[in-house]
Amino acid sequence: MLLTITTTHGPATDLGFLLHKHPEKAQSFTIAAGTAHVFYPRATAELCTAALLVEVDPIELVRGGATTLTQYVNDRPYASGSHLAVALRAVFATAMSGRCDLRPGLAGQAIPLTIRVPSLTARGGAELVHRLFEPLGWTVETKPVVLDPSFPEWGDSRYVDMSIMGTVRLADALKHLYVLMPALDGDKHYFVGQDEADKLLKVGEGWLGEHPERELITNRYLERRRTYVRYALEQLAEADDIPAEAEPKVTEAPEQRQPLAVQRQGSVLAALRAAGAHRVLDLGCGGGALLRVLMDDPSFTEIVGLDVSSGALDSAERRLKLDRLPEFQRARITLRQSALTYADPSLAGYDAAVLMEVIEHVDEERLPALEHAVFAVARPRTVIVTTPNSEYNKHFEFLPEHSFRHDDHRFEWTRAQFREWAEGVAARCGYDVRFLPVGQEDQVSGPPTQMAVFTVREEVAA
């Protein structure tokens, strides 16, 4: 597989600084699939082209572990988009991260680029290539690759000769290619798991969430593995609900057997069922991740999703496909726009209310108003609150010390701080409270998410 990157930015040989590969050297790198070569067919001050050539060794792919013929005879060497993307990241990792120590200003600068992949797997044809790259600002040119020039009646192959042109940061261009080439291929040469979903979110940060084809890209990049696709789309939807300057820094806890978002939803669902709740408020529902889980359970006969963001409610409506639901299903759910700090007597009388990863988005000085609105005015029999445990943050590899998991968080509490707040609310408002861990617990740091379940005291309820 071959990929070339060309620029006319002056001096064009600065491309060597950006890629951390000297234009006067031809270099080879061992990768899991075989060997990747980097060389410069042309390097002048006016025009510079860097080429990445990947040679796949199908025997090396399984050497050391093969016990059956099928491990050798398979299609993994032909998942070309996947191999080329992995080689791209392995060889140009520093460039993809946006670092250029020798030319720091250059790394953040958009420069004219032309990138060509003369044999790109595109299951969906040239039209799909245009749909994926053009929304990102690229001008796209494609030529079909025929199966055999001697037999034109056989038609075109699944490959296209693709060139994309644009004025883009090199790091962004590499990230676009890293995600979209495997998505066009629709296949991978390695197992897709939770780490691959987290990788997609990291590399797609800042652009994938806004892409009109994000669902198609996510499905194909993750090989339609439903658990991971659903998790990634939920994270992208949640990121969409906040301002662009407040992108999340971290998405999930490391070494969780199941995505933390899924474990969190499962813990909330279990607490609602244990409380015997049928009429439920999802306060701060965001893009509707929990609402969808509640809708799947017929025991919840009335569900209200409330959020201050109209954009979040629009996302929830799309996610739940409310316009396509049968009338009896549609009647079970209501979406309302309102702030959680506003007392609303019409929310009174429900069995339960959930604030899942919500309170940390509220300024601490406004928490008394939230407490009054939820625990005094709405006053459901059960209130479930989840929030990050700040003691666990040190386990996030890419989270700077003393930083929050999300730029929109106003605070993140330790277990002692959360307990002090929750017990104070319970004492003031006539509730009992118990605490439950969510996610895999660390012996010292505790769980990544902490949950409090408030229940109206029997004598107060009577």
Domains of the chain: 2-190 (3.30.1610.20), 260-461 (3.40.50.150)
Residue 59 pLDDT > 70:
no
Q: How do 431-438 and 449-456 pair as beta strands?
A: antiparallel
Is the bond preceding residue 58 a cis peptide, omega within 30 degrees?
no
Worst-scoring range by mean pLDDT, 33-47, 68-82, 311-325? 68-82
Q: In the structure, what pLDDT confidence band is assigned to residue 60 with cuts at 50, 70 and 90?
A: low
The predicted pLDDT at position 404 comes to: 86
pLDDT value for 244: 35
Amino acid at 398: F
Assess whether pLDDT exceeds 50 at residue 369. Answer: yes
Paired tokens of 366: 């406004």
Of 62-66, 108-112, 192-196, which has the strongest mean pLDDT? 108-112
pLDDT digits (tens, 9 = 90+) for 33-43: 678 899 999 99
The full length of the chain comes to 462
Between 350 and 123, the more confident residue is 350
pLDDT of residue 370: 95
Sign of the dihedral through C-alpha 214, 219, 223, 227: positive
User: Average pLDDT over the chain, rounded to whole?
Assistant: 83
Which of 34, 45, 2, 40 lies closest to 19 in space, CA to CA?
40
For range 405-433, the mean pLDDT? 93
Residues ≥6 apart with Cβ < 8 Å to 365 = none
Non-local (6+) Cβ contacts of 199 within 8 A are none
pLDDT over 90 (residue 347): yes
Q: CA geometry: angle at 240 spanning 237 and 241, to 5°? A: 95
Are residues 343 and 373 in contact, defined by beta-carbon separation less than 8 angstroms?
yes
- What mean pLDDT is predicted for residues 115-125? 85
Structure tokens at 237: 């939807």
The residue with tokens 């067919």 is 41
The answer, yes or no, to whether residue 251 has pLDDT greater than 60, is no
Q: Which two tokens stand for residue 279?
A: 């009429």
Query: Residue range 406-422: average pLDDT?
Result: 92
pLDDT tops 50 at residue 79 = no
Dihedral sign of CA atoms 255, 236, 220, 397 in order: negative
Q: How far is the C-alpha of 272 from the C-alpha of 382, rounded, in Å?
A: 8
User: Where residue 353 falls among pLDDT bands split at 50, 70, 90?
Assistant: very high
Rounded CA separation 256/248 (Å): 19
Structure tokens at 232: 């990634």
pLDDT given at position 33: 65
Q: What is the pTM of this model?
A: 0.51
CA torsion through residues 361, 362, 365, 367, sign: negative
C-alpha–C-alpha distance, residues 411 and 367, integer Å: 11
Q: Please give the backbone phi and psi of residue 312, each rounded to the nearest 5 degrees, phi first.
A: -65, -40
First-to-last CA distance in the chain? Answer: 73
Q: Flag whether pLDDT at 397 surpasses 70.
A: no
Band (pLDDT 50/70/90 cuts) for residue 74 is very low
Burial of 157 (0-12, 13-18, 19+ CB in 10 A): middle
Type of residue at 295: M
**SS3 sequence, the chain?**
CEEEEEECCCCHHHHHHHHCCCCCCCEEEEECCEEEEEEEEEECCCCEEEEEEEEECCCCCCCCCCCCHHHCCCCHHHCHHHHHHHHHHHHCHHHHCCCCCCCHHHHCCCEEEEEEEEEEECCCHHHHHHHHHHHHCCEEEEEEEECCCCCHHHCEEEEEEEEEEEEECHHHHHHHHHHHHHHHHCCCCCCCCHHHHHHHHHHCCCCHHHCCCHHHHHHHHCCCCHHHHHHHHHHHHHHHCCCCCCCECCCCCCCCCCCHHHHHHHHHHHHHHHCCCCEEEEECCCCCHHHHHHHCCCCCCEEEEEECCHHHHHHHHHHHCHHHCCHHHHCCEEEEECCCCCCCHHHCCCCEEEEECCHHHCCHHHHHHHHHHHHHHHCCCEEEEEEEEHHHHHHCCCCCCCCCCECCCCCCECHHHHHHHHHHHHHHHCEEEEEEEECCCECCCECCEEEEEEEECHHHHC
Does the pLDDT value for residue 181 go beyond 80? yes
Closest Cα to residue 144, out of 128, 165, 167? 128
Exposure b/e, 230-246, CB count within 10 A at least 16 = b: bbbbbbbbbbbbbeeee
The residue-averaged pLDDT of 48-54 equals 90
pLDDT at 58 over 60: no
The model's confidence at residue 211, banded by pLDDT at 50, 70 and 90, is confident
* Between residues 380 and 395, the one the model is more confident about: 380
Question: Most confidently modeled of 64-73, 119-128, 272-281?
Answer: 272-281
The residue with greater pLDDT, 396 or 159, is 159
